[in-house]
Amino acid sequence: MSNWLDPRTWALQQGSRDADGLDDAGDSGGIDDLGDDRAWSTPAPAPGATLPPFRPSLTLERTRFFVDLSGTSKVIVDVDHVSGSASLYRDGRHAQTSAMPVRFPLGADSIEVVAGRYGMHRIHLIRADGGERRLDPAPGTPEFWRARLDRRHPRISRALSLCAVIVLTVNLVMLAPQALELISELPLWSDRFTPLRSPIDLPAWTNSALTVTAGLVAIERALTFRHNRLLDVDTDGIEA
């Protein structure tokens, strides 16, 4: 009987597979094997614990990336957005958990993990020679589905990216003057200078709609690892 990493769930399974790839899961079976999502609430798995399966119901809370280290082992980083922590697994076994941002040592190499409210900012393998590469998103994660859309439908993917830039530009033009007006009303400014008056006066529902749209666009850009200091200043402000 041997352990193996199931590519469908990215969890370490016990038992063997036959020539057709079927599972030999041992003597436990049934619905109970699906597990309990409450197990994900544990911020730090026990050393050597097996990697839990990644379920679609957890996509708003977690994400997962992997990299093969020279064909010798598979490293998986499981990110918990709720707790702000990341867990490192080697060949399906838990090795380390730490609050983000974090750099996990892998001998001479390391993995840097930085996340924001809307998604990953950085998830890179740093080589000893200074080279780096981004880890691949694990199947089932939002980043995986977004990358697959880009491969299969590049035109749709480019259209989404362009729409995101347009939305951020509009938000910047519409909301920036109002933000400056609010800042100018603070005592630090108003005690010395005349408060500014925004030439744009939008109703509350419009501002709310712009804020919600900015949040959706921030998710789209996070899934594709795009960020611009000027364009994304609106969503960076929301995140802060």
Q: Helices 154-184 and 204-223: crossing angle, nearest 10°?
A: 130
Q: Give the contacts of 173 (CB within 8 A, at least 6 positions apart).
A: none
What 3-state DSSP class applies to 212? helix
Token pair listed for 179: 């933000």
Give the per-residue pLDDT at 229: 67
Give the orientation angle of helix 154-184 with respect to helix 142-152, to 10 degrees: 130
For range 129-137, the mean pLDDT:
91
Most confident range (mean pLDDT) of 14-23, 135-144, 176-185, 217-226 is 135-144
Whose CA is closest to 235, among 162, 188, 180, 165? 165
Q: Which single residue is written with the structure tokens 């436990």?
A: 28
Here the tokens at position 81 are 């957005």
The token duo for 198 is: 């925004």
> Could you tell me the pTM of the whole model?
0.67
pLDDT digits (tens, 9 = 90+) for 65-118: 999 887 678 899 999 988 899 999 998 899 999 999 999 998 889 999 998 877
**β-sheet bridge partners, residue 125:** 111, 133
